[in-house]
Chains A and B, each alone.
Chain A
């Protein structure tokens, strides 16, 4: 694992005195916030390099994005941090704690915790792109935390850079004063010195409260296979020392500190972390779930009276079934989920069995990206072939007897006669795009039952659309569709805005008369027919012809909405087989056969994996 590599650098650990605890007035805690690809990681690299925290030799490109997956996606999933020693122009040496934030909407809560640990933030805007959806979302989060925001206009080395326009958008779209915005090129290093000075001069120092009872915020936590769970802490009140007995205020668990220190970005042990400082803590904890992001650490012997505000349990928003393609891999999948869960306690899983797919797990994720990441890590790191069922969201089903059930799995959907009403989660989505795509984007949103909230022209022929959209419509390929109707130019961010009453129903799909649980979905009544027709049509193309007719039906309760038939194969014979070229003919037969191996049998019907994914691709024909 990448994390162990980082900690291993310091093992065995030597206590060092030369890194004596900084006085609070020489500490600056900051984050970098940006839209994807606007250069956050490059800027972080450059800051680390300039302060010589790491030699260039040690420096991998984009140091902070250390997971493979992150490097490929170009986003940061796991927040990391570095304490930089910076000799400022005023003659003092400052400790600049860079707290990395996850870069995606699914991790909004984590981002908010990271920002909460800071007094300021660098806001990067790409001089060639201007303000994008995530720029805005992140700025709002930073403003909620009362952070000092330093706008940084990046990529000024590119010929298409337009610094004046970026400034204008920072003022008009975001509403920040852009006079002091710093123009930089993280790539060439231009302007980096100014950024460092601005951090020192403009971001306030943390308040010193060394004598108060300890209150430390868990900003991030992760699992290291050598030392166990690691927490990244921001000390708000008091001092945390080696060997201290600590208590976690929300989980009420107690541990002893085995090690603490800062990241340079390599781990560096210290005797103590004073208030205002950011650093790591290791307690030999085997379960990462014990160190929950947002929880408050205090001391056993002198506990704080109240925790820091804002703790929230991570809450799964999107649910899907994960099944091994080969049912023999079930145990392997369970092991993999358990191991992965140690690293990423934000996803949940529980055993589930499907008539169609056999044994698998119902998994909960923070959002779509989170789901993709987990799925990809399972396939990549654990070498598993998976079938993922259509994702669904949590519905609040109010029963006729007055009770309320939260339902995320179509198979648990109550009988229609027992349902009084159903609420579904909705989000507010902000979509940025060039003007020319507004029409198609509005149509896409309307097709997804969106309600327009706002539309703003933000200059340079760009428009921001705000829509209220059901989360359920977002989880099924909305982002892909958004990218495809805008030829990749649109960006989007969303946040959960609550629940609204909707007429949703459970739609079943019957293959050869048998309801296939893995194909059931919860859908709005108004589009059930369309979806049902589309789905069975798609399935007809995906399910190969068998030796008998296979009817495919979409139904609500007993009512059939749509029907298609996969016609029986009644003839499969090659007329010509002579001239002696047997090899070619045999290869064709072998190919026919190989195709069958990847199928699941539902009753007597062979169904390929892709059929289960068909549900995900609905709405493409719009």
Chain B
């Protein structure tokens, strides 16, 4: 962990090994903070969008992005779909002005299924957003209420239709399972219904109790909440995979599924160890360094403190860490294991070295013996039996 924050300008020396760069823009605002949420989102009575945009642009200025093309943009949150269209337009204009977007660049925006948000989908599409990720979570009204979501199933279905009508050909739905006392069949109902909409992409997460959330205190004070035990969680996981396979979805990552090869290129970039820049409160970034190591940094989470520091010091960085080539190799290895194709040996050896590849493989050899890891000529990847132990397998690289 870095003890002192570097001014981002001093990172100019950072050597960008890969051609492409990914851009993450964080919108830290929500209308309501759900009890389970540990993302960097804040409820503000009034959002000064101009200030937010100025912050993003100033943050970016500090990074001195070299004239490289950008492969993907991801506008996440919070609730980005609260954003007025003119602000989005200005943001995307600014991005176009400053760098070259790859011709097929993936530009994703996260959206809430509420009617006000959905009303802006068409305009978002016009601005250049070409992928929409809708936070549906569930298609059961009681579950949505328990999750404190402010939409109902009807609105969720409508939002999808409106997105399609707006011309979105690449849509993701976020769904959540493993709620307390949730019977499997109700989850599968949501899942089936979502499949019938034929989205290109589905993210299915198990609900987890994150420390510091309201849910965590509810959990602590109420031991009677019927959380799924391991066996149930395993059943949810397996059934999800089975049902989605039947609908033609491929699980290309632990929680992510796609039809027709429309995987999320932006998120895949994290697992492929691509460089990315995070703009906005709480956003994180990563560059490759000339010595083969990497630098990671993360911004201040509070929107106000972030803005203040940006104004005073020209950057919003809260902390950073540098890793050696060896450490980076471990990290790249376990991140790669999250993908169904795992680690591509040729790519890994180009970025690091055959010796470092061997070292990582050696560290998780016992998982191979148990049939949870497959190593062939081209790649190292977790097998279907291994998915449920992915964290344990990943942790072996720290041996």
Question: Could you list which residues of chain A lie within 8 angstroms of chain B, going by C-beta atoms?
Answer: 547, 567, 569-583, 586, 589-590, 592-594
Contact = CB atoms under 8 A, between A and B. Distances in A.
Interface stretch (B62-70, B194-202, B348-356, B388-396): B388-396
B217 interface: no
A583 B284 contact: yes
Interface stretch (B6-14, B81-89, B156-164, B229-237): B229-237
Residue in A547, A580, A583 with the greatest tally of chain B CB atoms within 10 Å: A580
B398 A572 contact: no
B76 interface: yes
B24 interface: yes
Contacts of A593: 395-396, 398-399
Given A578-B270, A580-B24, A582-B286, A570 B395 contact: no
Given A571-B230, A573-B388, A592-B395, A578 B284 contact: no
A-B residue pairs, 9 tightest by C-beta: A593-B398, A575-B205, A573-B390, A580-B284, A571-B388, A572-B391, A589-B395, A572-B392, A575-B255
A554 to B, nearest CB: 26
B276 interface: yes
B298 interface: yes
B230 A576 contact: no
Residue in B24, B76, B284, B399 with the greatest tally of chain A CB atoms within 10 Å: B284
Given A571-B230, A589-B398, A593-B399, A583 B388 contact: no
B254 interface: yes
A577 B230 contact: no
Interface residues of B, number: 41
Contacts of B388: 570-573
B284 A573 contact: no
A589 B270 contact: no
A580 B395 contact: no
Nearest to A573: B390
Nearest to B390: A573
B331 interface: yes
Contacts of B396: 593
A589 B208 contact: no
Contact of B230 (A567, A580, A582, A586): A567
A586 to B, nearest CB: 6
Given A575-B206, A577-B338, A580-B24, A569 B398 contact: no
A592 B391 contact: yes
Contacts of B230: 567, 569-571
A592 B396 CA distance: 10
B39 interface: yes
B208 A573 contact: no
Contacts of A574: 208, 254, 390-391
A579 B392 contact: no
Given A571-B237, A590-B398, A582 B335 contact: yes
A580 B276 contact: yes
B283 interface: yes
B113 interface: no
Contacts of B206: 575
B234 A571 contact: yes
A275 to B, nearest CB: 69
B265 interface: no
Given A571-B389, A580-B285, A582-B286, 8 more contacts: A569-B389, A570-B388, A571-B388, A575-B255, A577-B271, A579-B39, A580-B284, A589-B398
Contacts of A572: 388-392
A366 to B, nearest CB: 44
A592 B276 CA distance: 27
A576 B205 contact: yes
A578 B77 CA distance: 12
Contacts of A575: 205-206, 208, 254-255
A221 to B, nearest CB: 50
B392 to A, nearest CB: 5
B334 interface: yes
Nearest to B208: A575
A582 B255 contact: no
Nearest to B205: A575
Contact of A589 (B231, B271, B298, B391): B391
A527 B371 CA distance: 46
B278 interface: yes
Nearest to A568: B230
A281 B110 CA distance: 86
B392 A580 contact: no
A583 B298 contact: yes
Contacts of B270: 577-578, 580, 582
Contacts of B398: 589-590, 593-594
B326 interface: no
A597 B321 CA distance: 25
Contacts of A569: 230, 389, 392
Contacts of B283: 580
A576 B395 contact: no
Interface string B366-399: 0000100000000000000001111110111011
B267 interface: yes
A306 to B, nearest CB: 68
Nearest to B237: A571
Contacts of A571: 230, 233-234, 237, 388-389
Interface in B268-301: 270-271, 276, 278, 283-286, 296, 298
Contacts of B267: 578
27 contacts: A547-B389, A569-B392, A570-B231, A572-B389, A573-B388, A573-B391, A574-B254, A575-B205, A575-B208, A575-B254, A575-B255, A576-B205, A576-B208, A577-B271, A577-B335, A578-B270, A579-B39, A580-B24, A580-B284, A581-B298, A582-B284, A582-B331, A582-B335, A583-B298, A586-B334, A593-B399, A594-B398
